[in-house]
Amino acid sequence: MNPICIIGTGLAGYTLAKELRRQKYSGSLVLITADEGRYYSKPLLSTALAQNKDTTALTLATAEQMASELQAEIKTGSPVTAIEPQQHTVTFGSTCLTYDKLVLAIGSTPIRLPLTGDGAQEVLSVNNLDDYGHFRQLVQQSRRVAIIGPGLIGCEFANDLLQSGREVLIIGPDRWPISSLLPEQAGRAVQQALASHGAVWHLETVNGPIEKSGTGYRTVLKNGVTVTADLILSAVGVRPVTALAQQAGLQVERGIVTDGYLRTSAADIFALGDCAAVNGRNLPFVAPLMAGAKALATTLCGQETAVTYPVMPIAIKTTLYPIITLPPGTTEGHWEIEPSDSGVTGRHFNAQAILDGFVLTGQATTQKSVLIKELNQ
């Protein structure tokens, strides 16, 4: 019998492999990854500086340890270059492997703005352990760090850098931080809280060319302000990795298209995690991939099971000012906000006046279970 083959050893790939073994799949299992296959929790990358963790401390298990735990073959440093859905084969290096079922868990990649200037190529993004290792090394020699992108990841890195004693500037066109997930009052509360710890916000503007200046960088913002920094981090979002699937003729839209069973448009090929668009939704977070891995493992063990998502609030790791949000599924409806000195409580009601989202900041985050209960009523 040919193996179940998983491409990718991020949280999606490894969680699925663990789930398969937990559900007593006893057949052969092959994981193929472009990287070193270390098992780690990606969300910790934006809180690791303040905890003084390097890549070794973040590594929960090596590929060898995972291979032994999972009773699997793990091919590291092996980018897959082609999939032949008709032949049921994948190609990496000079190897062509035949699979029984194939799972694409190939993740997402940081969006790179079309930056100009002689320093543009040196702007960093952090989306995996190696990126973090490089970033951490450069941060050691940096006093001031500029972050392009005041979204969730940008704010988490700002929080981590502030706690590590760095000066932090945050630049972006948004009117308030994390504007795609938070209503204005909550975003302003975060802005104020991080400012009180030293963050300097340059909102409603964008950077110009990134020029080298001494040992650091300089950019003139569109609003005319000149900013300098020793290091620049770009955190403007991620996009699903889809080229491999596209080349293989799979349907790709906002990710690799799957149905509720995580089946792609090709027989015996599934997609899971950041790379997938499940029933039209790309959800690049841990909770959806956990739910997906569980359902997919059950399907691969012989009992067809569609993924069902629980209520999945997002805990934003701005530890200086915590936030929990359950973004509403639609833009229709309205927010009802209760600000207080200790934090913001916001409830979102849809067009039918049904509670369909919430936000809690600061001390109000202790009310998470109350809000989840209200949602489930």
Ligand X SMILES: Cc1cc2nc3c(=O)[nH]c(=O)nc-3n(C[C@H](O)[C@H](O)[C@H](O)COP(=O)(O)OP(=O)(O)OC[C@H]3O[C@@H](n4cnc5c(N)ncnc54)[C@H](O)[C@@H]3O)c2cc1C
**Strand-strand pairing, 269-271 and 101-104:** parallel
| Binding-site member from 3, 4, 5, 8 for ligand X (CB under 6 A) | 8
Task: Give me the least distance between CB of 57 and ligand X, in Å please.
Answer: 16
Helices (H), the chain: 11-22, 55-58, 63-70, 129-140, 152-163, 184-196, 243-247, 286-300, 368-376
284 is a site residue for ligand X (CB under 6 A): yes
Given 153, 199, 293, 344, the residue binding ligand X (CB under 6 A): 153
45 scored as a contact of ligand X (CB under 6 A): yes
CB of 46 to ligand X, least distance (A): 4
Residue 218 Cβ, how far from ligand X at the closest point, in Å?
26
Binders in 98-137 for ligand X, by CB under 6 A: 105-108, 126-127
What's the rounded Cα separation, in Å, for the pair 246 and 31? Answer: 21
Q: Which helix (H) or strand (E) holds 273?
A: none
Site membership for ligand X, residue 368 (CB under 6 A): no
Output the six-digit token pair for 207.
């950077």
Closest among 136, 184, 180 to 161, alpha carbons compared: 136
CA dist., res. 377 & res. 373, Å (int): 6
- CB 159 within 8 Å of CB 145: no
Q: Does 35 bind ligand X (CB under 6 A)?
A: yes
Q: How far is the CB of 51 from ligand X (least distance, A)?
A: 14
Among 194, 274, 277, 365, binds ligand X (CB under 6 A): 274
Size of the site for ligand X (CB under 6 A): 34
What are the backbone angles phi and psi of residue 274, rounded to the nearest 5°? -60, -25
Say how far apart CA 266 and CA 251 lie, in whole Å. 8
Check binding of 241 to ligand X (CB under 6 A): yes
- How many other β-carbons are positioned within 10 Å of the β-carbon of residue 128? 20
Q: Which of 3, 4, 9, 164 binds ligand X (CB under 6 A)?
A: 9
| Of 18, 43, 50, 236, the one binding ligand X by CB under 6 A | 43
Q: Following DSSP, what letter does each residue of 95-135 receive, concatenated?
A: EEEE-SEEEE---EEE------STTGGG-B---SHHHHHHH
Q: Is 249 in the site for ligand X (CB under 6 A)?
A: no
Find out whether 244 and 211 touch, Cβ atoms under 8 Å. Answer: no
Quick one: 212 or 281, whose CB is closer to ligand X?
281
Q: Which member of 33, 298, 299, 361 binds ligand X (CB under 6 A)?
A: 33
**Which of 70, 80, 161, 277 is in the footprint of ligand X by CB under 6 A?**
80
Q: Give which of 284, 277, 267, 367 is closest to 325, Cα–Cα.
A: 367
- Binding positions for ligand X, 293-332, rule CB under 6 A: 317
Range 76-108 burial, b when 16+ CB lie within 10 A, else e: bebebeebebeebbbebeeeebebebbbbbbbb
191 binding ligand X? (CB under 6 A): no
Minimum Å distance from CB 327 to ligand X? 12
What's the burial of 190, exposed, middle or buried (CB within 10 Å: 0-12/13-18/19+)?
buried
Closest distance of CB 298 from ligand X, Å: 19
For ligand X, the closer CB: 81 or 226? 81
Determine the residue type at 156: E
Measured from the CB atom, the residue of 238 and 301 that comes closer to ligand X is: 238
Query: Per rule CB under 6 A, is residue 7 in the interface with ligand X?
Result: yes
Question: According to the 3-state scheme, what is the secondary structure of 168-205?
Answer: EEEEECCCCCCCCCCCHHHHHHHHHHHHHCCCEEEECC
- The residue from 46, 159, 207, 242 that contacts ligand X (CB under 6 A) is 46
6 lies in the binding site for ligand X (CB under 6 A)? no
Which one of 33-41, 53-61, 252-260, 322-330 is the stretch in contact with ligand X (CB under 6 A)?
A: 33-41
CB of 377 to ligand X, least distance (A): 25
Binding site for ligand X (CB under 6 A): 7-13, 32-35, 42-43, 45-46, 79-80, 105-108, 126-127, 153, 241, 244, 273-274, 284-287, 289, 317
